[in-house]
Amino acid sequence: MESLRRTMASSGLFETLLFTVNTLLKKDKYKTALAVVKGFRNGAVYGAKIRAPHALVMTFLFRNGSLREKLQAIAQATYTHSRNLASFVFTYKVLQSLQQLVQGKQLQSHSFLAACVGGWLVFGENNNINSQLTVFFVTFEEKCDLMKMSLIIICFISSHLSGCIRTLYNIESGFEKHLYFSIYFQINMYLLSRILFGLSRLAVEKGILPQPRKDPFPLFATLVWGIVLWLFEYHPHTLQPSLQSSMNYLYHDSNTWHDITDFLIYNKPKTH
């Protein structure tokens, strides 16, 4: 009997706490701050979802070492990507809100400046993960292409052994054209980013451009993130649909919720 009373008391306490939290989430005066929190949550979740499969594929295809070392590398890459993306979304939304608060209205420059500062602070360090994310934006690729590129590599490698391309080609007549266009487009754009970097290095070697005194990557990341967020906020039709979808998840979906379930657990309410 005593155990039943404790269970009922605990259940009542949980329901009261849940009601209090949901009431707080519905208050307009906290909406801006809460949107920043959900933005951090969406960035962390999305970063992990995108990096984990990519790191898994690339690590087991091309990395040497023991199983434990490979798993540690996958976990580290996933954590870094998730943390960086969450930190950027958090920084971007905070700076946007502060600028709007100070000036009393929303301006296009707010998005650009907030993303520039976030890009410099979060993605300014020249490492593998930051360079991959930033370069993908230069070539109009979406972040989810990290996973797609991994699948493309597997497909082309296996095509020499098992006829992977022919198998995909025979799935559906309408799908096959889209598949081929998507694969070839992504590969060409992937190469474009490498060519641009190669030509830049060659220009420095030939004396056409002066040798940078400092690593130009922080400035590069600053401008790339500033431009892509400005385009997304004010000219989204110029970006690829999949990139728009990814950025909607990160920056716009985080402005909407109904209760704790679609604030913290899910991005949107579950439909039955």
The per-residue pLDDT for range 4-31, each reduced to its tens digit, is 456 555 677 888 888 899 999 999 999 9
Q: What are the Cα distances from residue 19, in Å, to 4, 105, 139, 149?
A: 22, 33, 47, 45
Torsion angle, CA of 159/163/164/165, rounded to 10 degrees?
A: 90
Q: What is the 8-class DSSP label of residue 263? A: I
Query: What is the rounded distance in angstroms from the CA atom of residue 237 to the CA atom of residue 216?
Result: 30
**pLDDT higher than threshold 50 for residue 227:** yes
pTM over 0.85: no
Mean pLDDT of the chain: 81
- CA 189, CA 163: separation in Å to the nearest integer? 25
271 DSSP assignment:
P
Most confident of 28-42, 117-131, 137-151: 28-42
Torsion, Cα 34 38 40 45, to 10 degrees, reads: 170
Q: What is the pLDDT of residue 152?
A: 47
**Residue range 81-86: mean pLDDT, rounded:** 94
Q: What is the pLDDT of residues 138-192, one digit of tens each?
A: 554 444 444 444 444 444 444 444 444 444 444 444 544 555 556 677 777 778 8
Stretch 248-257: mean pLDDT, rounded? Answer: 95
One-letter amino acid at 41 equals: R
